[in-house]
Chain A
Amino acid sequence: MITGTGITKTFKQRGSVLAAREVQALRGVDFAIPKGGAASFIGESGCGKTTLGRIIAGLEAHDGGEISIDGTAMSSLKPKARQPHFRRIQMIHQDPYSALNPTRTVHQTLNAPLTLRAKQTGRSKAWIEERAAEVLNLVGLDAGSVLGRYPHQLSGGMRQRVVIARALTVDPDMLVADEATSMIDVSLRLGILGLLKDLRERLGVSVLFITHDVATARYIGDDGELYVIYRGQVVERGPVDTIIADPVHPYTQSLLSAIPVLHGLERPGDDPVTPTETLDDSVQDEGCLFARRCPFRTDACTAKRPLLQLTEGIPQEHACIHPRRRSVVAQPIGQE
């Protein structure tokens, strides 16, 4: 439904007395998210996954590369003409509290986009009310008890559902959830994840899930594609379960190894990878971006930056010149 090729984005950092520092947030990223599909971007904070998500949702402009929505290249359209296309992609923010206007009730919040829609499509006021109830129903909330409430009167999970309901009022084709469960209590996260999966199945909406918690990425659908992003570059890409079971790039392996093991319920993975710690933040121009922290690096790694390439035999791509499958993930006890 939406594809991007060679997306680059540079931020100029102000705040330095001398020249403004340039930060390359994205270095030539390719992605493709099919209609009704699921994709996840994982990586540490600052790796560019949020920036990419915002570019996809049309909230930020990219500097280089091309984005196409349903086959139409965005660069061929004038900025105003692009808006209706990006409107089909709605963003779900991380913090449900700041994503809702605290001075407006749920009813008022939903009313605004619905009224606009009604005007555009010539519907009546009654339709607005029905649709509001419908949309709340879709996210598992009872319209009667929630419409008159202010955001502070709802729990975090309910607020997030209202945010999703609001996004649904414009009949989007894709939802971009940026750390949408990070600020919600653990026991309620699956509710939101299940809701996203449910919306995919019921409405055919694609979901892009951005997170640092890899496990959550599975729950929006096991047909999802995982993109592992490091410092603005996609270092591994493939089906979620394949990458979790057989990661090939050392960074992916480090990320998966770092996930806490629930001792007593799980045992540690066979071959965990720990990156060497470095507090040096600078970026070299050439060579693999991860080389400095990579425990398996060789001289060849610092010479040229590896590009994404196919792994033998499976639909998985990686960007490493010494790829090796390792089983790093914690295994459940008693089940093998």
Chain B
Amino acid sequence: MAQQAPGVRIDGLTVVYKTPAGELPAVRNVSLELASGTITGVVGESGSGKSTLALSLLNAVQPPGRISQGTVQIDGLGDVVGLRGNDLRKARGAHIGYVFQAAQNSLNPLKTVGKQLLDLGRSHEVEDLPALVREAKELLGRMGLDGARVLDSHQHELSGGMRQRVGIMLALVLNAHLVVLDEPTTALDMITQANILKIVREVHAERGLTTLVITHDIGVVAEVADRLAVMYGGRIVEQGPTREVLGAPSHPYTKGLIRAIPRLLGDIDEAQALPGRPPTLTTVPKEGCVFRERCALRMDVCDTVDPEAVAHDSRIVACHAVTVKEHA
């Protein structure tokens, strides 16, 4: 089934979690567009809401969380938030491939990879299972593995890098054209990480996918993504073409984050950690800018008014100081 790489439009998405203190938002009023055929990277630290955002694409937010507002439009599927039951199950896997965080640990340790592949196929009512296995072997071969051997192996017989590749294969084997990778290279060493990222780029191009990568590591996004979105405290504070955002960041958080990365060259005194710490679900301010406590450009309006996402060419930034500067 030949599919076009779907475009995705997330509009005004809010996801809340039930806590003893009431329903608190993990993701608040997020709007993001994944253009067909692009790789987008979402970067955020702990508590930024990035994993929740990724789960929302599958409408897989589990209680005590729920999507309280907004839509997630996927070409060919409609609004995922409205899908339920069987339709939703079919959508996941056949349309959307999801590679979980630490895919290395989400394989069933008691079954061979091949058996899990068949389970997957059967649960999606794939009729031609041998063809599925062939496709899987081809994908694994494409990623540099001996397909037959891997399919016959158990999870503990494979290294971390191999398991990650198996995770990617399982996400693609049902011919999904929208793929979400959640922290695809955590716990992998540098060289394996570089290999996996190369594979992600190549497979994305060859199969004509739309890809979303969620990570805390800006380096990963820099190597792989066309477009970068920075999340903080449940909001997207800045998004734009990766090179531009990295080369000339607008939002104070983005600037601070880049400056806080240990670098290989250059004066070590130039790098600075961001003061304070990232907010958690319960400490995120309900009003005003979520970043104001750590911001050097803080103004009075930041305490009360939540900055709107304002577009400047291909860049979208949500910051009062930036908006003021642009209009000056």
B110: interface (CB < 8 Å)? no
Contacting residues of chain B (255-269) with chain A, CB-CB under 8 angstroms: 256-258, 260-266, 268
B218: interface (CB < 8 Å)? yes
Q: What is the bound-complex CA distance between A104 and B145, given in angstroms?
A: 48
A108: interface (CB < 8 Å)? no
- A220 CB, min distance to chain B CBs, angstroms: 9
Chain B residues near A189: list those with CB within 8 A: 260, 262, 273
Task: Say whether A262 contacts B246, CB under 8 Å.
Answer: yes
Most chain B CB within 10 A, of A186, A193, A212, is at A186
Q: What is the bound-complex CA distance between A74 and B265, given in angstroms?
A: 39
Would you give the 0/1 interface string for B243-284, flagging 1 where the beta carbon is closer than 8 Å to chain A? 111111000000011101111111010011110011000000
- B158 CB, min distance to chain A CBs, angstroms: 9
A275: interface (CB < 8 Å)? yes
Contacting residues of chain A (83-110) with chain B, CB-CB under 8 angstroms: none
Task: Say whether B264 contacts A214, CB under 8 Å.
Answer: yes
Q: What is the bound-complex CA distance between A189 and B216, given in angstroms?
A: 13
A24: interface (CB < 8 Å)? no
Among candidates B46, B190, B248, residue contacting A212 with C-beta atoms closer than 8 Å: B190
Task: Say whether B189 contacts A44, CB under 8 Å.
Answer: yes
Chain A residues near B189: list those with CB within 8 A: 44-45, 212
Chain A residues near B217: list those with CB within 8 A: 186, 260
- B248 CB, min distance to chain A CBs, angstroms: 8
Across the interface, name the chain A residue whose C-beta is closest to B280.
Answer: A155
B12: interface (CB < 8 Å)? no
B222: interface (CB < 8 Å)? yes
Q: What is the bound-complex CA distance between A264 and B245, given in angstroms?
A: 8
Would you give the 0/1 interface string for A258-288, flagging 1 where the beta carbon is closer than 8 Å to chain B? 1111111100000000110101010000000
Across the interface, name the chain A residue whose C-beta is closest to B190.
Answer: A258
- B21 CB, min distance to chain A CBs, angstroms: 16
A23: interface (CB < 8 Å)? no
Would you give the 0/1 interface string for A220-263, flagging 1 where the beta carbon is closer than 8 Å to chain B? 00100000000000000000000011000000001111111111
Chain B residues near A156: list those with CB within 8 A: 46
Task: Say whether B190 contacts A187, CB under 8 Å.
Answer: no
Contacting residues of chain A (106-123) with chain B, CB-CB under 8 angstroms: none
Across the interface, name the chain B residue whose C-beta is closest to A222.
Answer: B268
Would you give the 0/1 interface string for B56-92, flagging 1 where the beta carbon is closer than 8 Å to chain A? 0000000000000000000000000000000000000
Task: Say whether B145 contacts A262, CB under 8 Å.
Answer: no
Chain B residues near A222: list those with CB within 8 A: 268
Task: Say whether A185 contacts B220, CB under 8 Å.
Answer: no
Contacting residues of chain B (172-203) with chain A, CB-CB under 8 angstroms: 189-195, 197
A215: interface (CB < 8 Å)? yes
Chain A residues near B257: list those with CB within 8 A: 186-187
Q: What is the bound-complex CA distance between A281 and B162, given in angstroms?
A: 13
Q: What is the bound-complex CA distance between A63 and B268, given in angstroms?
A: 38
Task: Say whether A263 contacts B144, CB under 8 Å.
Answer: no
Among candidates B242, B262, B277, residue contacting A155 with C-beta atoms closer than 8 Å: B277
- A79 CB, min distance to chain B CBs, angstroms: 35
What would 27 A/B residue contacts be, using CB atoms closer than 8 Å? Answer: A45-B189, A186-B45, A186-B216, A187-B256, A187-B278, A188-B260, A189-B262, A194-B273, A213-B190, A218-B264, A244-B265, A255-B190, A258-B191, A258-B193, A259-B190, A260-B219, A260-B223, A261-B219, A262-B222, A262-B246, A264-B243, A264-B244, A264-B248, A277-B144, A279-B159, A330-B264, A331-B265
Which A positions have Cβ atoms within 8 angstroms of B?
44-45, 155-158, 185-191, 193-194, 212-216, 218-219, 222, 244-245, 254-265, 274-275, 277, 279, 281, 329-333, 335
With A186-B216, A219-B268 given, name 6 new contacts (CB 8 A). A44-B190, A191-B273, A213-B190, A254-B191, A260-B217, A261-B219
